[in-house]
Structure 1
């Protein structure tokens, strides 16, 4: 019973760090890569696992310990490279000398034979490009365990220690345990990597799907003003149109082209990734610039703007993006009051956070409309596209993420 307990404990120690390492990579963007720091970390984990296995062999026969120290060596060689594998091998030799110096020469001889065999097997099998990937590491573990057992048997014969049937039975069990443990570890690594790759592919597909739908919607929205502009241009090409109508039609053409340009600008602001320079921005100072930008538009619609800001409201943000976001929000607030009203912009500190509020006394929105805010081409305005609010949502989300 103790043999099974020690064996299961060894397998747990070998599999748990590998699972934790790969699961941590699930939240990292981009493909899995092994830079020097990752390789060093894998080498360290495998070295600690080898030391544990040597300290807790799952059975012992007349002075010979049978443990799973070979598994961390194989994992380091297979998944982290020659340097990590040699590092783990050196740690095993050093720990062997520390716990039992009498067998050190024997372990050095075994390592000198086993390590070149492992490297030759990896180089000749080309296992990473074969299917199934779990077969070759499992076979390598079985052969390595068999070679270790054979060398141990020769050592016992040379030392005049008996080799009976029970020893051979334990040796067979030793090889099978190595093969099954390596199969389990390799299977876990392969499955986790497949899940990582699948997740990244799904994320890419979702992004492409959203952008393709958005591009189709943009094309549809642009087609309308372009059709109107083309119709007016055809009318203007006729000689019987008087000057007054030409002026009216030309104004309408310009308005429709400006509308199409606005749609394209908002789409590019959302779809095109840009490296933003973050800096400390004083929101109270930024509100003055906002007031200068939005006041003429508010006056034209009979809306009064009141700004109540505390001083020194510092946040880390991109000032241009933040102004764009505030202009979009205040413009929506003004347009929500078709009969005029008051737009109140307040800013204050609450604990360590800066709170910025924009309030209007307009027509309001239903809960369903609020839930749909920020989706492309949803707007409560007759000629709205919803892209301005979507861009504002993205700017706010980026600002929130960068402040964490």
Structure 2
């Protein structure tokens, strides 16, 4: 029973650190194919500790010989981290074996002198990573290495006049089988982990490319519309029978469409690079006057009354231009949500360590599905908007360390709640 416990303990000590290394350390872009210096050092450290533990706690103990699994960490280092890592682990356990075995050290050196060239030749000639049965070749290598170790041990016993009995032969057979099964288990786990990591990285890469392609297609579509309209008016203007009055009207429409295209490009660039260049203490309570001067004519033309209720000294860490851009975007959305007129209420107060800004309208409102899609590329509840302004606003607030919450019901209005860390 003790023999079985020692065997399970050896397998556990081998499996857990090596598998955790592949899960935690190698789950980074580029580390599966090429290891940096720190990755190799970490793998050398893990494999060395596992090999030393196996040498210190053998599972088969006979007079003159101990059987352990120290070959497997050496193989793992060679196969999955490179020749340098394998040689480093071999050198360290060779030093440890000299400290442990003393006079029997020569047999350990002989074993490594035979196994290492064989392992290097196997790696160089087999090209095993590019073959389909990736688990068979390391497993076969472990079995052959264990068999070679057993043969050298047998030669050592014969030369030392130590009796070779059935128990020794049985232990030798079990020793080879244990190496085969343990290496198969480790190779299987490592292969599955690496496949999952590769699949996850490919999925993330594909998602980024899909988002980029959708965004590029949306930008092209949104810019093509005003450019098509502007081109049509320019063709009309090139005709001689157009009156001066119509030329002025058409010229104004061309300028309006070009300004619309420029606004789309500006929003797109703000979304692509929303980071504020300089963050500084900003008193949000001083912004309503600027916001009122900018949007009062726009609100008055649509029959909307803007009301402010702001506490004093609402200081945050932000960029004034970016913050104004965000407030203008959200306020314009609130005004446009009230086509028949109404009241837009902007409230600011401090709650704990947060500065809260609420922009509330009594307009058409939104459904739960529309709320969930807010901030996604080119989604808008109106036909006139591109949706980029809302996306930019979300990014700006996140840049300042805050977040936006939206509550709304159809025909009952919408409330945008901005939470930002107070200074």
TM range, normalised to the smaller chain? 0.7 to 0.9
- Which stretch of the first structure deviates more once superposed, 302-311 or 386-395? 302-311
1:36 is displaced (CA, Å) by: 0.8
SS of residue matched to 1:241: coil
Render the CA deviation track for 1:166-214: whole Å, top value 9, x for unaligned: 3223212212221222222122222211111111111222222233333
State the distance in 1 between where 2:344 and 2:18 align: 61
Q: Which residue of 2 aligns with 1:333?
A: 334
| Distance apart, 1:398 and its partner CA | 5.2
Q: Which residue of 2 aligns with 1:84?
A: 85
Going from structure 1 to structure 2, the CA distance change for 1:104 and 1:375 (only over 3 Å counts) comes to same
* 3-state SS in 2 of match to 1:374: coil
Q: By how many angstroms is 1:45 displaced?
A: 0.8
Structure 1: how far apart are the matches of 2:2 and 2:83? Answer: 35
Uncovered stretches (5+) of structure 1, i.e. residues with no partner? none
Question: Scaled by the length of structure 1, what TM-score is found?
Answer: 0.85
Verify: 1:281 aligned to 2:280, yes or no.
yes
Q: How does 1:336-355 map to 2 (within 5 A)?
A: 336-337=337-338, 339=341, 341-344=343-346, 346=348, 348=350, 350-351=352-353, 354-355=354-355
Q: Summarize the alignment of residues 79-158 of structure 1 with structure 2, pairs less than 5 Å apart.
A: 79-158=80-159
In structure 2, what is the equivalent of residue 250 of structure 1?
251
**CA distance, structure 1, for counterparts of residue 365 and residue 30 of structure 2:** 40
Is 1:239 equivalent to 2:240 in the alignment? yes
Q: Which runs of 5+ in 2 are unaligned?
A: 404-419
Distance in 2 (CA, whole Å) between partners of 1:221 and 1:135 is 55
**Cα deviations by residue, 1:234-293 (Å, 9 ceiling, x for unpaired):** 3322323222221121111111122223223334444x4x595775432327x7578647
Instruction: Tell me the alpha carbon deviations over residues 377-401 of structure 1, each in whole angstroms, 9 at most, x when there is no partner.
Output: 3322340121211232334445549
Residue correspondence of structure 1 range 1-400 to structure 2 within 5 A:
1-25=1-25, 28-29=28-29, 32=32, 33-270=34-271, 272=272, 274=273, 276=275, 280-284=279-283, 292=290, 295-302=293-300, 303-304=305-306, 306=308, 308=310, 311=313, 313-315=315-317, 322-337=323-338, 339=341, 341-344=343-346, 346=348, 348=350, 350-351=352-353, 354-363=354-363, 365-368=365-368, 369-397=370-398, 400=401
Give the RMSD, CA atoms, in angstroms: 3.2
Deviation string 1:361-392 (CA, Å, 9 cap, x unpaired) is 34162342322212333322340121211232
Q: Is the 8 A contact 2:375 2:390 kept in 1?
A: yes
Partners of 2:79 and 2:399 in 1: CA distance: 40
> TM-score normalised to the size of structure 2?
0.82
CA distance in 1, matches of 2:289, 2:178: 74
> SS of the counterpart of 2:283?
helix
Distance 2:399 2:7 in 1: 49
Distance of 1:65 and 1:323 partners within structure 2: 76
SS at match of 1:355: strand
